[in-house]
Structure 1
Amino acid sequence: MRVRRLAAWTALPLAVTLGLVACGSGGGGSGGTDPNAAVRIEIAEPQHLVPTNTNETSGSQVLAALFSPLIGYDDASQAYEVAAESVTSEDNITWTIKLKDGYTFHNGEPVTADNYIDAWNYGAYAPNGQGASYFFEKIAGYEDLQGETPAAQTLSGLEKVDDLTFTVTLSAPYSDFRTMLGYNAFYPLPKAAFSEPGVLDEGYEKAPIGQGPFKMKGTWQHDARVEVERYDAFPGEQPKVAGVEFRIYQQPAAAYADVLSDNLDVIKVIPTESLSTAPTDLGDRFQTSPGSSFQFLSFPTYQEEFSNPDVRKAISMAIDREEITTAIFKDSQTPARSFISPVVAGYRENTIGDAGTFDPAKAKALYQSAGGPSQIEISYNGDGGHKDWVDATCNQLKANLDVACVGNAEPKFSDLLTKVKAEQPVGLFRMGWSMDYPSMENYLGPLYSSTGSANFYGYSNPEFDKLVAEGSAAATEEEAIAKYQQAEEVLAEDMPVIPLRFGQNVFGHSTKVTNVELDLFNRVDLLKIEAVQ
């Protein structure tokens, strides 16, 4: 389960149009700032704190404190070097990565090329069971590391040049490889992380050692907190706070109450039920900023009743996106009529055409002529705050298609995915996607390619696969975008999923902090946040 990418909560940040910008850092208390103070940030219990095994927002937030990425992204989603001095290629197959000098791990070890090679080999080796292993599939030799008894233990495409340089050879050209390197699966690991070569020490995850601006303070206190403190030997920009307590909450409502009473400094997601009152409750401490994900309804295309694209288009046309966005989400999200987030280069406003236009009469006629089923079920995870909008969607389908419609809540997101993967009958099922790195390919390949890691709908179109592959192998970003846009047009014809909503980061903070900003991945910028005296 890729929880960060496949978003479990309806309130997780969903991408907004580029016209929406952050409202600013918001006020705080009067007086100056205190660089010796720590701040308190809400997260859920992380699944893991090993970089190659972390696929969800809370773990990613903690790792962003402990590690510095090779590549970062600016406000325009353009990649730039952070821990890397340069990432270059002449053919998009062989890439040379030069590291900046002066980085050390929190235990004093110097950061070298070996630390990246060792970490990536560990992540790619199938018996290690790392959740982000698939990020290394583009590197030559990945297939040899798969299966119960792999033919090899290391990627043939990784080669050390010197202590600060290594090369990466891909199995096929990929123009976005440099951009991809901003994801946390590509962080390095120190020698101390391994009890022996290729074997992660059992105690490492309790107190991960990174090379970022903060180091662990104590150990991970499960279901309670993770604390970090400023690492003074960090060679990059130093944080403006002495430390961070990542406070673990089970219920968003409890975190929101603590922000209102100044017992918590940042809540990264305002609960849906508080959206209407939050602007008044928090004043200028109620914040919004662009996010990178979107919500959609998925079809089990392998089931006869949903195999006809016209049935799928008719259901899309019967949904009033504007009404639900306003009534349920208080306009904190934006109706979606494309498969690509607006924060990514190549986005176009309406790629699904008539299928995205609310037209009950036309939807009903098309649905009946296409032989749509008389009953529709929408499955969703009950732990994600989806009931209200699913019920509203069902009510619209009942009225506009003259069908029976019921919502089916699975206890957890993992329960829903288990049934979907087993192709058990669940009807339509909700999904949400948050990008790993800013590229159209990241919204297309994993979700809709025939072998996509998150293609749970049984969708397969050779023309789509060909266009995505051609985009990946393109020599320039412009050429890649042209191919990806053609692939999106194929999706619009087939409609394996219904785009519903783009969204944004909707968050709040206490009076004790200022300069609070969230990035496209719903992570607090830990180099900007300040504590108020």
Structure 2
Amino acid sequence: MRVKRVIAAVSAGFVAAGLLAACGGGSASGAEGVYSLHIMQPENPLVPGNTTESEGNQVLKSLFTPLVRYNDETSEVEYTGVAKSVESEDQMTWTIELNEGWTFHDGTPVTAKSYVDAWNYTALSTNAFGASYFFENVKGYDELQAADGAEPAATAMSGLEAVNDTTISVELKEPFAIFPVTLGYTAFYPLPEAFFDDPDAFGRRPIGNGPFKADEDFVDGQGFTVTKYEDYAGDNPAQAEGVQFKVYTELTTAFTDVQAGGLDVLLDLPPDAWATARDQFGDRYVERARPDITALSFPTYDERFADPRVREAFSMAIDRQAITTAIFTDTRTPAASFGSPVVEGYREDACGAKCELNVEQANKLLDEAGFDRSRPVDLWFNAGAGHDQWMTAIGNQFRSNLGVEYALRGDLQFAQYLPLQDDKGMTGPFRMGWIMDYPSLYNFLAPVYSTAATPPAGSNMSFYSNPEFDGALSAGNNADTLDEATVEYQRAEDILFRDMPATPLFYGLNQAVTSDRVDNVKIDAFGDIVTEEVTVG
């Protein structure tokens, strides 16, 4: 769950980053010391093309610098990364020019070939990378796809070429006006030659081009420490000597550690701290609207939830406002769109009545669909991340409003929960969280609900498939202007609400707290800690 969006003009109040004031003598300049940062266990080894969730993404953003970055207030593309420019005359054939002087942490140069080879490896179906879908619109992608056990017709996309060391040519299958906007995402990071020599070793100790470098292996369940890369070519070098990424299985444990000084930065708080952390931590508390969506997704492959009327009924049995007030103490906002409020094309009431509590209509729909109310429904969510209370509240509403009992299935850690979704292992409605990868409504639709994004190529965990929806996305991609593209993406969203493979629940709030050892802790527009800006006192 992580990064994608359209160029959006967002109000400064909505995305303005919070800075934590000096609190305990932290140095305001110069790199000094190592600080610790909480994460949960990443799902996969730390390879960019197969890292599609928040925990691994936080680590990789410290080790890599993308082709493009985004303005922190407007979300517009900025050429302050590796790319000097991304240009096209027809929105179909693109030329990416790279800045010179960038190197990987092993000292080898970052070249056009570093990108082309990485993207081909990610797209190749036999590698089963979760971000493969991001190259679906590149000419030749289809030839890299094959059914289980079969060999693809090709191992390199015909639409990709390293023209020289600093020029990449990308030919798409159809026009895609927002292509430059996508290039800040993890899947588009480069890979050094060392990766192809030993992918497994790389996954434990990634070799990037970012402000920090890995000098030791990542240990599952524990984490690792990365250190400042002295030869970093970017304009945002690390201000600390290093970051210790500490893996926790429970937010409550991490919160106790930051209170005691055993952890320096915690992003995301346990439920019992949501309402009190601001007052408790004072200068050491920061918050920012999270560019995300929490939804209740349905296993469309399960016979009980194959009928859209059933899915609509469960949606209309949920009182979102009551949960945001009683459980989240208004640190969440009820959602009625699949897109985040920070992206262009967002419509506040896109879902309409289907996301409003209507017990009578919900029961009528269940009766029409012949739903068996005598069997409990399983409610799935990952363990240790504070989801128990609100999922229990939803279950209680199903019991009260629909007469359907429920069983909580929240015993799997994040790294176990995601693969089970990929394997069609959900036996009932399940928590789905998505954080934008780049600023576009398209990013909240295509990677989560398009046919091309069904696992392992993408994150369509509901296994929803509708050619009409896919066609609307394609029409948006082929539009001549951003406004015309947005209209088609909204049409695609309307189709989703007709079929209801999932129902929106809440928009989040990033809340971070720190020890008194660190200053300048900032949450970026994607909801991540900007690790290179943190200073240690």
TM-score w.r.t. structure 1 length? Answer: 0.89
Q: Percent identity?
A: 42
1:435 corresponds to = 436
1:27 corresponds to = 21
Residues of 1 paired with 2:130 and 2:243: CA distance? 26
Count, aligned residues: 517
Are the aligned partners of 1:114 and 1:160 in contact in 2 as well (CA < 8 Å)? yes
Match for 1:60: what amino acid?
N
- State the 1:365 CA deviation: 4.7
2:315 corresponds to = 316
Does structure 1 residue 178 correspond to structure 2 residue 180? yes
1:118 corresponds to = 117
Secondary structure class of the residue paired with 2:531: coil
Match for 2:64: what amino acid?
F
Match for 1:431: what amino acid?
M
1:407 corresponds to = 408
- State the 1:467 CA deviation: 1.1
1:64 corresponds to = 61
Between stretches 436-445 and 210-219, larger displacement belongs to 210-219
Match for 1:99: what amino acid?
L
Are the aligned partners of 2:351 and 2:497 in contact in 1 as well (CA < 8 Å)? yes
- State the 1:84 CA deviation: 0.1
Residues of 2 paired with 1:84 and 1:382: CA distance? 37
1:381 corresponds to = 381
1:393 corresponds to = 394
RMSD: 2.7
Are the aligned partners of 1:321 and 1:335 in contact in 2 as well (CA < 8 Å)? yes
Are the aligned partners of 1:419 and 1:426 in contact in 2 as well (CA < 8 Å)? no
After the TM superposition, which residues 333-352 of structure 1 pair with which residues of structure 2 at under 5 Å, given as runs?
A: 333-352=332-351
1:159 corresponds to = 161
Are the aligned partners of 1:297 and 1:500 in contact in 2 as well (CA < 8 Å)? yes
- State the 1:334 CA deviation: 0.9
1:73 corresponds to = 70
CA separation of 1:223 and 1:494: change in aligned 2, threshold 3 A: closer
Match for 1:209: what amino acid?
I
Are the aligned partners of 1:212 and 1:231 in contact in 2 as well (CA < 8 Å)? yes
Show structure 2 runs of 5+ residues with no match: 5-9
Between stretches 343-352 and 152-161, larger displacement belongs to 152-161
- State the 1:451 CA deviation: 3.8
CA separation of 1:209 and 1:401: change in aligned 2, threshold 3 A: closer
Between stretches 229-238 and 478-487, larger displacement belongs to 229-238
Are the aligned partners of 1:309 and 1:496 in contact in 2 as well (CA < 8 Å)? yes
CA separation of 1:243 and 1:124: change in aligned 2, threshold 3 A: same
Are the aligned partners of 1:40 and 1:246 in contact in 2 as well (CA < 8 Å)? yes
Are the aligned partners of 2:379 and 2:395 in contact in 1 as well (CA < 8 Å)? no
- State the 1:236 CA deviation: 1.6
Residues of 2 paired with 1:492 and 1:429: CA distance? 17
Match for 1:129: what amino acid?
A
TM-score w.r.t. structure 2 length? Answer: 0.88
2:7 corresponds to = none
CA separation of 1:246 and 1:455: change in aligned 2, threshold 3 A: closer
1:229 corresponds to = 227
CA separation of 1:402 and 1:130: change in aligned 2, threshold 3 A: closer
Residues of 1 paired with 2:17 and 2:89: CA distance? 41
Question: Once the two structures are superposed, what CA deviation does each residue of 1:445-470 show, in whole Å capped at 9, x if it has no partner?
Answer: 22223443233435343332221110
Are the aligned partners of 1:420 and 1:426 in contact in 2 as well (CA < 8 Å)? no
Are the aligned partners of 2:39 and 2:245 in contact in 1 as well (CA < 8 Å)? yes
2:488 to 463, 472, 483: 483
Match for 1:445: what amino acid?
A
After the TM superposition, which residues 504-519 of structure 1 pair with which residues of structure 2 at under 5 Å, given as runs?
A: 504-519=509-524
Are the aligned partners of 1:91 and 1:173 in contact in 2 as well (CA < 8 Å)? yes
Between stretches 315-324 and 369-378, larger displacement belongs to 369-378
CA separation of 1:150 and 1:517: change in aligned 2, threshold 3 A: same
Question: Once the two structures are superposed, what CA deviation does each residue of 1:123-154 show, in whole Å capped at 9, x if it has no partner?
Answer: 22233333322222222112222233222222
Question: Once the two structures are superposed, what CA deviation does each residue of 1:58-103 show, in whole Å capped at 9, x if it has no partner?
Answer: 2212211211100112222222221100011112211100001111
Show structure 1 runs of 5+ residues with no match: 7-15
Are the aligned partners of 1:332 and 1:506 in contact in 2 as well (CA < 8 Å)? no
Are the aligned partners of 2:67 and 2:183 in contact in 1 as well (CA < 8 Å)? yes
Between stretches 90-99 and 42-51, larger displacement belongs to 42-51
Match for 2:22: what amino acid?
G
Are the aligned partners of 2:17 and 2:524 in contact in 1 as well (CA < 8 Å)? no
Are the aligned partners of 2:85 and 2:97 in contact in 1 as well (CA < 8 Å)? yes
- State the 1:122 CA deviation: 2.1
Residues of 2 paired with 1:301 and 1:229: CA distance? 45
Residues of 1 paired with 2:388 and 2:130: CA distance? 29
2:39 corresponds to = 43
- State the 1:302 CA deviation: 5.0
1:469 corresponds to = 474
Residues of 2 paired with 1:109 and 1:100: CA distance? 15
